Chain A
């Protein structure tokens, strides 16, 4: 049986289009320092550092972990870099947690980041492959046909994505760290925004952000000494599957279903919609909310869009299962950090430390990330209590 571990420190940067005032090293150090401050700790209190980011091509700096060792105080300490595409923020947190749960280290600092302004992620995702025509469609071009198939299967109304995009930006307006601050956004404004990859409009897609997120994860004994309330890690799971194989279910990937089942079992969850108080789920394109509502068992297959349209996932509409109270990936997307931000925001909720986007009395929350061709999944459940 794994040892108990808890999040005792959370540090984020403000997410924005360009952080010209800092280098990548400065950016990650800022998040790490904020996490240490939140935990009431210093660099000397850390046993090991786990760093994650999305593909190196996103900034063109290969093996950035090499030069981040000094910025993150790793001199003389173990340091590890994790990569699982867009889900990396989640899997990095899980790797860091597993070091503590295994008893290998007592207190681990984990940091993820992206500085999208330093390159062009869409280009990096669309490099030419010799066996495929070069269409440069990016992530939106890849996911749009899968969304279209979801719409065909469910006969969902055309404006479900518009509703998600509006809802998450209204949530984001409550979070001062969110990149997009659109407190007056309307459904019509989203609907009127330019079409990019039909059925996805400009405002139904995530922004490109600079930013970093860090966590301090410690064992049970040290968490008890923490000045602020710990967020106990009640379950953590990862699953992956190949991008392409004959008969692969792309709308509702098996790896996501299996990963959710595993994390719910660890956390003693039988009905995620009832048992969880809120969730931070990786939704970079609007329609992924209803799709993941089904994949993660919050709704029956074909019914996810109804929860969205009823306002069940909206904080402003007092929904019973608010999703992405922080504004989600649709409001801030420093890609490599985006998964960890979901995990961190779930922890903020159960620590009662989520400011204006706090869900009253949240005791159990889920963080989720996916990456690659919706093939890597990382999820955790955190609670205000140990069990």
Chain B
């Protein structure tokens, strides 16, 4: 390379130095039970012995009461939309096409929501209180992952009253 060409180059102000992280995730007792349940097509929560609320995914304790949770509760595939957003940005590596719905879902029998994709409906029809169910992938694809549920989809049931979503029934 001649001197002239070297001078024509842009000055280097930065270089790419990617960082890759692979974790060995120690799930702990509660999350290990939960992931084992998911691997077998079941949603397993845990009930707080103090406030009686049911957590999913269980993390082994109730963050409100500060006590360990041990009683296991198998939850329904049915859930209620607590809130949601319509996302207009693609998920890298996921075939789902924007705009798609990500919803905070409270499974029947639980008192806290988790995030999942909501599909098989018009985005503009999604509403708080809407009743939905999990569509599980084929059992041959099940792993220790919430992606075993392909998405949630609406069911033909009347909406839940907003005040009832996630509330204890027998409190």
Residues of A within 8 A of B (CB): 20-21, 60, 118, 127, 130-137, 140-141, 144-146, 148-149, 152, 194-200, 242, 244-248
Chain A residues near B78: list those with CB within 8 A: none
Q: Does B13 contact A (CB under 8 A)?
A: yes
Contact, CB under 8 Å: A246 / B144 = no
A60 to B16 CA separation, bound complex (whole angstroms):
11
- B136 to chain A: closest CB distance in Å? 13
- Contact A20-B111, Cβ < 8 Å, known A196-B89, A248-B64: no
A197 to B34 CA separation, bound complex (whole angstroms):
30
From B19, B63, B102, B166, A137 is in contact (CB under 8 Å) with: B102
Chain A residues near B104: list those with CB within 8 A: 145
- A67 to chain B: closest CB distance in Å? 14
B150 nearest in chain A by CB position: A133
A148 to B17 CA separation, bound complex (whole angstroms):
39
- B57 to chain A: closest CB distance in Å? 4
- B58 to chain A: closest CB distance in Å? 9
Contact, CB under 8 Å: A141 / B85 = yes
- Contact A130-B144, Cβ < 8 Å, known A145-B83, A148-B84, A198-B88: yes
Given A130-B145, A131-B34, output 19 extra A-B contacts at Cβ < 8 Å: A130-B144, A131-B31, A132-B115, A132-B146, A133-B145, A134-B91, A134-B147, A137-B87, A141-B85, A145-B84, A196-B87, A197-B85, A197-B87, A245-B64, A245-B112, A246-B51, A246-B55, A246-B62, A246-B64
A284 to B87 CA separation, bound complex (whole angstroms):
18
Residues of B within 8 A of A (CB): 13-14, 17-19, 21, 25, 27, 31, 34-35, 48, 51, 53-55, 57, 62-64, 82-89, 91-92, 94, 99, 102-104, 111-112, 114-117, 128, 144-147, 149, 162, 166
- B155 to chain A: closest CB distance in Å? 20
- A295 to chain B: closest CB distance in Å? 18
A197 to B87 CA separation, bound complex (whole angstroms):
5
B53 nearest in chain A by CB position: A246
A200 nearest in chain B by CB position: B85
A127 to B112 CA separation, bound complex (whole angstroms):
22
A242 to B64 CA separation, bound complex (whole angstroms):
8
Contact, CB under 8 Å: A246 / B166 = yes
Interface of A, helix, strand, loop or mixed by DSSP: loop
- Contact A132-B114, Cβ < 8 Å, known A246-B51, A246-B64: yes
Contact, CB under 8 Å: A130 / B62 = no
- A18 to chain B: closest CB distance in Å? 9
Contact, CB under 8 Å: B112 / A149 = no
Chain A residues near B53: list those with CB within 8 A: 246-247
A357 to B85 CA separation, bound complex (whole angstroms):
35
Contact, CB under 8 Å: A135 / B115 = yes
A244 to B87 CA separation, bound complex (whole angstroms):
22
Contact, CB under 8 Å: A195 / B146 = no
- Contact A137-B48, Cβ < 8 Å, known A195-B86, A195-B88, A247-B53: no
Contact, CB under 8 Å: B88 / A196 = yes
From B63, B84, B85, A245 is in contact (CB under 8 Å) with: B63
Contact, CB under 8 Å: A135 / B102 = yes
B114 nearest in chain A by CB position: A132
Contact, CB under 8 Å: A148 / B83 = yes
Contact, CB under 8 Å: A21 / B102 = no
- B113 to chain A: closest CB distance in Å? 9
Contact, CB under 8 Å: A133 / B64 = no
From A130, A134, A141, A197, B35 is in contact (CB under 8 Å) with: A130
